[in-house]
């Protein structure tokens, strides 16, 4: 754990050069097969600490992520440690929902493959969900799971599990002392809510509102029934100086044009990447270091995507747009 954020950011400027550059990603996409991709990654020093044996793709990406999380912890001063923890808890949330739903069905939890990267020990998390003892979790999540224990006891509802756990996590994230963390997850909620409305979700099933407040979301839901072309103007008026709302408006306009909610999700990814990138020179915020951690996570997702496709014989053309969009 670092003492000086300024020194950590200076050190980070050297370390971040080790990220896979776009030309290396391009070489991976152009490589004729899986073995050639592994060779390119080996030459680039990707996943150097990976253990041999088992699935090569998981070994490489898990090793790279483990290094990134360790470095993040090392670079962040103690007062910012909770900020990195919030971002890593996104992986725990995936695992909590999976384990809870398995328990609800009476299935075994031991064999479930969990998402790596969370802050909780996998064995401890399995035992906590199995026993219904959530004391290790933040109060927002503890209260949500205890409420689900009651509401789903006689009427199992997997959708309710996802909704309540996601809502609790957003409330927890937006209570963080870091303005960057609050801004990031508030924007995430806005894009998610807009996408959910486009897919026909009810207002009661949305995340806690951010820049798009409850009244605006209700107006959007109503306009979706008979006049969706009015909605971009509801999201952002021409006189508003709001990069977030502008990106929300653009994403929804593209959804209207194509009919695909993936347009809103693409706009979300682009905005969140830009949010971290724009703050990379902020010397009084955890944003530069967390931005590096997020870049390493995107890098691992790209590597996993390309290697899996190459091993399965999927043509590179189907991967290029998604890979480069993720890279930012």
For 92-103, the pLDDT digits (tens) are 999 999 999 999
Q: Kindly tell me if the per-residue pLDDT of 237 is higher than 70.
A: yes
Q: Kindly tell me if the per-residue pLDDT of 324 is higher than 80.
A: no
d(CA 238, CA 100): 45
Judgement on whether residues 156 and 65 belong to the same structural domain of the protein: no
Q: Of 155, 173, 191, at which residue does a domain stop?
A: 173
Judgement on whether residues 23 and 69 belong to the same structural domain of the protein: yes
CATH of the domain at 156: 1.20.1690
d(CA 220, CA 228): 8
Judgement on whether residues 101 and 61 belong to the same structural domain of the protein: no
Tell me what percent of the residues of the chain surpass a pLDDT of 90.
Answer: 68
Judgement on whether residues 97 and 12 belong to the same structural domain of the protein: no
pLDDT band for position 326 (cuts 50, 70, 90):
low
Domain containing 129 equals 85-173
> Structural domain tally of the chain?
3
At residue 105, the pLDDT reads 92
The residues facing 77 across adjacent strands are 2
> Considering the domain boundaries, does residue 286 fall inside one?
no
pTM: 0.88
Q: Kindly tell me if the per-residue pLDDT of 327 is higher than 60.
A: no
Q: Kindly tell me if the per-residue pLDDT of 146 is higher than 90.
A: yes
d(CA 230, CA 295): 36
At residue 323, the pLDDT reads 58
At residue 322, the pLDDT reads 58
Mark 93-109 as b/e (b = at least 16 C-beta within 10 Å).
bebbbbbbbbbbeeeeb
Q: Of 148, 173, 198, at which residue does a domain stop?
A: 173
At residue 320, the pLDDT reads 65
Judgement on whether residues 271 and 312 belong to the same structural domain of the protein: no
pLDDT of 266-287, one tens digit each? 999 889 988 887 777 777 888 8
> Considering the domain boundaries, does residue 183 fall inside one?
yes
pLDDT band for position 308 (cuts 50, 70, 90):
very high
> Considering the domain boundaries, does residue 187 fall inside one?
yes
Q: Of 140, 173, 206, at which residue does a domain stop?
A: 173
Q: How far is CA 195 from CA 7, 13, 191, 263, 283, in A?
A: 40, 36, 6, 9, 34
Work out the number of other CB atoms within 10 angstroms of the CB of residue 244: 20
pLDDT band for position 317 (cuts 50, 70, 90):
low
Mean pLDDT in residue range 3-22: 86
d(CA 128, CA 114): 14
> Considering the domain boundaries, does residue 285 fall inside one?
no
At residue 281, the pLDDT reads 72
Query: How many CA atoms within 13 Å lie on the side-chain side of 92?
Result: 23
Mean pLDDT in residue range 240-260: 94
Lowest mean pLDDT among 3-12, 22-31, 110-119, 309-318: 309-318
> Considering the domain boundaries, does residue 307 fall inside one?
yes
Judgement on whether residues 165 and 205 belong to the same structural domain of the protein: no
Lowest mean pLDDT among 46-50, 180-184, 285-289: 46-50
pLDDT band for position 230 (cuts 50, 70, 90):
very high
> Considering the domain boundaries, does residue 202 fall inside one?
yes
Q: Kindly tell me if the per-residue pLDDT of 328 is higher than 80.
A: no
> Considering the domain boundaries, does residue 287 fall inside one?
no
Q: Which residue has the tokens 């962040």?
A: 76
């Amino acid at each position: 754990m670092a003492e000086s954020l300024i020194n950590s950011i200076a050190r980070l400027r050297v370390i971040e050069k080790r990220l896979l550059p776009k030309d290396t990603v391009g070489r991976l996409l152009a490589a004729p097969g899986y073995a050639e991709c592994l060779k390119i990654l080996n030459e680039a020093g990707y996943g150097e600490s990976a253990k041999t044996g088992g699935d090569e793709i998981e070994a490489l990406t898990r090793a790279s992520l483990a290094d990134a999380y360790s470095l993040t912890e090392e670079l962040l001063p103690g007062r910012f440690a909770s900020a990195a923890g919030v971002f890593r808890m996104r992986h725990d949330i995936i695992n909590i929902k999976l384990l809870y739903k398995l328990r609800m069905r009476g299935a075994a939890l031991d064999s479930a493959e969990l998402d790596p990267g969370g802050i909780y020990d996998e064995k401890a998390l399995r035992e906590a969900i199995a026993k219904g003892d959530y004391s290790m979790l933040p109060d927002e999540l503890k209260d949500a799971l205890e409420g689900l224990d009651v509401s789903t006891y006689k009427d199992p509802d997997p959708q309710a599990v996802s909704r309540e756990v996601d809502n609790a996590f957003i409330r927890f994230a937006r209570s963080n002392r870091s303005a960057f963390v609050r801004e990031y997850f508030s924007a995430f909620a806005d894009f998610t809510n807009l996408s959910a409305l486009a897919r026909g979700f009810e207002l009661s099933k949305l995340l806690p509102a951010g820049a798009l407040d409850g009244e605006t979301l209700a107006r959007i839901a109503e306009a979706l029934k008979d006049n969706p072309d009015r909605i971009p103007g509801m999201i952002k008026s021409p006189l508003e100086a709001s990069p977030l709302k502008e990106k929300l408006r653009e994403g929804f306009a593209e959804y209207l044009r194509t009919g695909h909610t993936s347009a809103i999700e693409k706009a979300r990814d682009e905005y969140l990447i830009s949010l971290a990138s724009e703050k990379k020179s902020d010397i009084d915020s955890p944003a530069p270091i967390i931005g590096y951690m997020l870049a390493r996570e995107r890098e691992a997702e790209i590597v996993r995507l390309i290697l899996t496709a190459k091993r399965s014989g999927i043509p590179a053309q189907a991967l290029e747009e998604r890979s480069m969009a993720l890279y930012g």
